[in-house]
Structure 1
Amino acid sequence: MSHSLNELQNLNGKTALVTGGAGYLGMAMCEVLAELGSNIIIASRNLDKVETAREKLKIKFPDIEVHSLQLDLLDDTSIKNLFHNINSLDILINNAWSGKKNSFESISNDDWEYDINLSLNSVFKMIKHAKPLLKKNKGVILNVSSMYGHIAPDYRLYNNDNYVNPPSYGAAKAGVIQFTKYLASFLAPEGIRVNCISPGAFPHKETQQDHEFMERLGSKNPLNRIGYPDELKGVVALLCTNASSYMTGQNICVDGGWGIW
């Protein structure tokens, strides 16, 4: 049976949970899923920020349901309580991240453990809790890794402690890519697809004010520029809908071609 692209990407009646959905990249992910008809659950530690994001989405997409829930990914009870408030789930996007700008010299044991817990261990915990709901609906998991999950940062870029890339970040994101592949294999019999995206470089607006650093950063890829949140919408639309129904275990790089050099 043949389906149009519009039919394959139709998410009407579906529900998507996006961790860090009120953030710089997370908001773009929420927007594209809402545009395709999905109801949205935005989860974050900062409830005020989540409420603001919820209001923006409701104004832009009045025909969908948008819920804001508080979530501390470092608190097992908070994760458990989150899923007590969710009755049905079709899409889980593990996107949340925060951390310090550490070098190998400056990073402490506590900093390392914080980053691994937030960027990798929380993905494991979220999927453990979400699996029963996703199994019922033959759902989709999209993990957000990074280009630094499969390549090393160029030390020559980071001559300022404000931008230095912590070793814990890439280590955790590499784990996310491998965990994605593992889950794609072992959750396939239950009808759950699992894929991953590796964005880079998508510096926040504050960092973009340093034009000299932006020039150095952008020159590292063939497109000679940084990425912007809307440029993730296409790959999210692909991997979270039936347009990718024969794809699982994949890590798609959205990096301006950075990794080919």
Structure 2
Amino acid sequence: MKNSKVAVITGAGQGIGLEIARKLLDTGSHIILNDLETSLTEEAVASLSRMGKGSVLGCSGDSASDEVISELLDLAMKHFGRVDQVVANAGITLFGNFLDYSRSDFMEVTRVNQAGTFFLTQAAARIMKDQENGGAILLTSSVTAHQSHENLAAYAMSKAAIEMLAKNLVLELAPFGIRINTIAPGATLTERTTSDPAYASTWSKLTPLGRPANTTDIAEAAAFLLSDAARHITGQTLIVDGGWTSISPSPYA
């Protein structure tokens, strides 16, 4: 695929990140993916490679660390000579009542979700700045950045910060042809959420469209924002939640 784009995706060993990688691979991108767990990274690379599309490379480790960020982008440059699409998808959720929430949990959520996203974006943008066609960056937020959700104050705060980062960076990145947007998934069926046997039925009742999202729903929207079809869209957040934020019933109600 001579004119393929090159995509770097964090948190792509399973769930939403893996499905975004699969979608971008299917639409013509080479993939460099990351997951914290080596086994998930290796399984994802093997699974995607069986599609017989573009090249798929893996890089395991903490995506919020400077070392892993550098390794991811170095892989892209060494093998393909450019970076066209970046998905800062890695993140963690540490639930906890606000009045009892620990400083250590707060700092870890902030480190992974905010700092990891910020510095991956910075490093990628430095590369894209020198490319003729710039690039497209997508940050992963959450509906909790828009509506209150019990026991997720720190997480919601980190995701709202990510959305403001994308909006703010329009000023600095647009002159280089770099677009940056955010996607905010609502309730989504993933390996993590389906470990709760009540998750699908609960969110089917709470979601106006009658079901939670699946990972394909999120990946389709992500691929659009990263594609040339969205070439005049930047600084925006696309909420993919089946209408939940319009009415916002709490699962704890």
TM-score for the superposition, normalised by structure 2: 0.88
Which amino acid in the other structure matches residue 113 of structure 2?
S
Deviations 1:169-211 (A, max 9, x none): 1000000111010112321011000111100011533543544
| Map of 1:46 onto structure 2 | 37
Q: Secondary structure at the match of 2:86?
A: strand
Q: Secondary structure at the match of 2:206?
A: coil
Q: Secondary structure at the match of 1:223?
A: coil
| Map of 1:72 onto structure 2 | 62
Q: How far does residue 11 in structure 1 lie from its aligned partner after superposition?
A: 9.8
Deviations 1:41-95 (A, max 9, x none): 00122122111101110101x1311000123134223323433333110000000
Aligned length: 241
Q: How far does residue 227 in structure 1 lie from its aligned partner after superposition?
A: 1.1
> 2: distance between equivalents of 1:217 and 1:170?
19
| Map of 1:253 onto structure 2 | 239
Conservation of the 8 A alpha-carbon contact between 1:72 and 1:78: yes
Q: What RMSD in Å do the two structures reach over aligned CA positions?
A: 1.9
> 2: distance between equivalents of 1:15 and 1:58?
15
1:56 equivalent to 2:47? Answer yes
Conservation of the 8 A alpha-carbon contact between 2:31 and 2:57: yes
Cα distance 1:114–1:242, how it changes in 2: closer, same or farther (>3 A)? same
Q: Secondary structure at the match of 1:97?
A: coil
1:79-228 maps to which residues of 2 (within 5 A)? 79-87=69-77, 88-135=82-129, 136=131, 137-153=133-149, 155=150, 165-228=151-214
> 1: distance between equivalents of 2:184 and 2:67?
29
Conservation of the 8 A alpha-carbon contact between 1:11 and 1:37: no
Conservation of the 8 A alpha-carbon contact between 1:73 and 1:79: yes
Where do 5+ consecutive residues of structure 2 fail to align?
Answer: 248-253
| Map of 2:251 onto structure 1 | none
Where do 5+ consecutive residues of structure 1 fail to align?
Answer: 1-9, 156-164
Cα distance 1:125–1:209, how it changes in 2: closer, same or farther (>3 A)? closer
Which amino acid in the other structure matches residue 41 of structure 1?
I
Cα distance 1:24–1:213, how it changes in 2: closer, same or farther (>3 A)? closer
> 2: distance between equivalents of 1:225 and 1:81?
39
Conservation of the 8 A alpha-carbon contact between 1:104 and 1:167: yes
Cα distance 1:209–1:109, how it changes in 2: closer, same or farther (>3 A)? closer
Q: Secondary structure at the match of 2:76?
A: coil
> 2: distance between equivalents of 1:39 and 1:250?
25
Of 16, 22, 32, which aligns to 1:31? 22
> 2: distance between equivalents of 1:14 and 1:116?
31
> 1: distance between equivalents of 2:62 and 2:102?
22
> 2: distance between equivalents of 1:207 and 1:130?
30
Q: Secondary structure at the match of 2:126?
A: helix
Q: Secondary structure at the match of 1:85?
A: helix
Cα distance 1:67–1:210, how it changes in 2: closer, same or farther (>3 A)? closer
Q: Secondary structure at the match of 1:151?
A: coil
1:231 equivalent to 2:231? Answer no
Of stretches 130-139 and 212-221 in structure 1, the one that deviates more from structure 2 is 212-221
Of stretches 229-238 and 115-124 in structure 1, the one that deviates more from structure 2 is 229-238
Which amino acid in the other structure matches residue 82 of structure 1?
L
Q: Secondary structure at the match of 1:187?
A: helix
Cα distance 1:47–1:260, how it changes in 2: closer, same or farther (>3 A)? same
